[in-house]
Amino acid sequence: MSATPLRPGAEAIAEKGWLAAHKWLILRRISQIGILLLFLVGPWFKLWIVKGNLNYSYTLDFLPLADPFLLLQSVLTGEMPEKLALIGVVVVLLLYLLVGGRTYCSWVCPVNLVTDFANWLRARLGLKGGAHLSRMTRYWILGMTLLVALQTGTIAWEMVNPVSMLHRGLFFGLGAAWAVILAVFLFDLFVMRHGWCGHLCPVGAFYSLIGKLSVMRVKLPRRDACNDCMDCFAVCPEQQVIRPALKGINGTPPVILEENCTNCGRCIDVCSKGVFTFGSRFGNSGK
């Protein structure tokens, strides 16, 4: 046993090398930043590959993509979207049904870059504890935003939504949105670990509902090899999702079916025993 506690993933780096132990993290950052760049080359270089923002975008004057949560709020206010927005919703729903609902959170959403940084800094500064809140809170907030839309006839959540505020702000002018993003960052850093993405954000909560049925999952084909190093727990933004599948509690098959797994793949990176891998939700009952 080593005298000083190792940082999560140290064993994996020693076992697989740095690059392999950061594979999914790097790919994820490429995805997040790449999507931002796709949107940014428009306003920067007048190269219009994608127009719009995460609420609704139009790619190459061909592919519409629309946020289903937002469109649901809009419909609740009593307005019907046009054809392109409806197609966009269907495309997005199908996409995330395939790759995993909250894959949106870890591979697309720009706020994840902010909260991941807060969490990294929190670990580095050794900040422990903080406020506690049920992870169910986000579903209450989700319900509340829908209710307010129904009641006020306006998409009220969009007035304060940090996700779209940041994404839209980067391409259309940030204004005071920087203060909102800073507040989310400081909240995650000092007040609550994984506070925003893991407890409060109704956008993520909505995508998790899609994730209940989505195909792509983190599987644990070698869960017998687990040596209880706890590295996966240390890096996982939704720690509660790992244990049932890893320990086979109540006969849980070796696949993470919990809807709040964000498919970030960090557990795959940091496991030195190769317990985790990406795969499909189907055909996992045997092991």
Partner 1 sequence: MDKDSKPQGSARRQFLADTARMACGVGLLGLGLGLYARHATALPPAAIRPPGALPETEFSGACIRCGLCVRDCPYDILHLAKPEEPMSTGTPYFIARQAPCEMCEDIPCVKACPTGALDHSLTDINKSRMGLAVLVDQETCLNFLGLRCDICYRVCPVIDKAITLEPQTNTRTGKHTLFIPVVHSSDCTGCGKCEKACPTEIAAIKVFPLYMAKGQLSAHYRLGWVEKEKAGGSLVAPDIEHQYNLPEGMKYEHGKGLSSVPPSEAPPAEPVVPKAFQGGKL
Helices (H), 46-155: 68-76, 83-99, 103-107, 111-124, 137-152
Q: Is 170 in the site for partner 1 (CB under 8 A)?
A: no
**Residue nearer to partner 1 on the CB measure, 60 or 176:** 176
**Residue nearer to partner 1 on the CB measure, 6 or 182:** 182
* Nearest C-alpha neighbor of 21 from the set 273, 196, 287: 273
Among 24, 157, 185, 196, binds partner 1 (CB under 8 A): 157
Q: Is 183 in the site for partner 1 (CB under 8 A)?
A: no
How far apart are CB 91 and partner 1 at their closest, in Å? 12
Q: Is 147 in the site for partner 1 (CB under 8 A)?
A: yes
Among 71, 111, 203, 245, binds partner 1 (CB under 8 A): 71
Q: Is 177 in the site for partner 1 (CB under 8 A)?
A: yes
How far apart are CB 81 and partner 1 at their closest, in Å? 4
Q: Is 114 in the site for partner 1 (CB under 8 A)?
A: no
* Nearest C-alpha neighbor of 159 from the set 145, 147, 171: 145
Q: Is 59 in the site for partner 1 (CB under 8 A)?
A: no
Q: Is 173 in the site for partner 1 (CB under 8 A)?
A: yes
Q: Is 221 in the site for partner 1 (CB under 8 A)?
A: no
**Residue nearer to partner 1 on the CB measure, 19 or 159:** 159
* Nearest C-alpha neighbor of 231 from the set 266, 270, 263, 261: 270
* Nearest C-alpha neighbor of 210 from the set 122, 98, 54, 59: 98
Tokens representing 108?
């697309």
**Residue nearer to partner 1 on the CB measure, 70 or 232:** 70
Q: Is 91 in the site for partner 1 (CB under 8 A)?
A: no
Do 113 and 167 form a contact (C-beta atoms < 8 A)?
no
Q: Is 189 in the site for partner 1 (CB under 8 A)?
A: no
Among 4, 134, 250, 285, binds partner 1 (CB under 8 A): 134
Among 102, 168, 193, 219, binds partner 1 (CB under 8 A): 168
* Nearest C-alpha neighbor of 145 from the set 88, 212, 67: 67
**Segment interacting with partner 1, rule: CB under 8 A, options 9-17, 106-114, 156-164, 206-214:** 156-164
Residue 96: count other Cβ atoms within 10 Å of its Cβ: 22
Q: Is 175 in the site for partner 1 (CB under 8 A)?
A: yes
The DSSP string of 60-82 is: TTTEEEE-HHHHHHHHHTT----
Using the CB atoms, write b or e for 191-203: b if 16+ within 10 Å: ebbbbbbbbbbbb
Read off φ and ψ for residue 255, nearest 5 degrees.
-150, 140
**Residue nearer to partner 1 on the CB measure, 68 or 130:** 68
Residue 122: count other Cβ atoms within 10 Å of its Cβ: 18
Q: How far apart are CA 261 and CA 24, in angstroms?
A: 15
Q: Is 144 in the site for partner 1 (CB under 8 A)?
A: yes
Do 175 and 227 form a contact (C-beta atoms < 8 A)?
no
State the residues that interact with partner 1 by CB under 8 A: 42, 48, 51-53, 55-58, 64, 66-67, 70-71, 74, 77-82, 84-85, 88, 134, 136-137, 140-141, 143-145, 147-149, 151-160, 164-165, 168-169, 171-177, 180
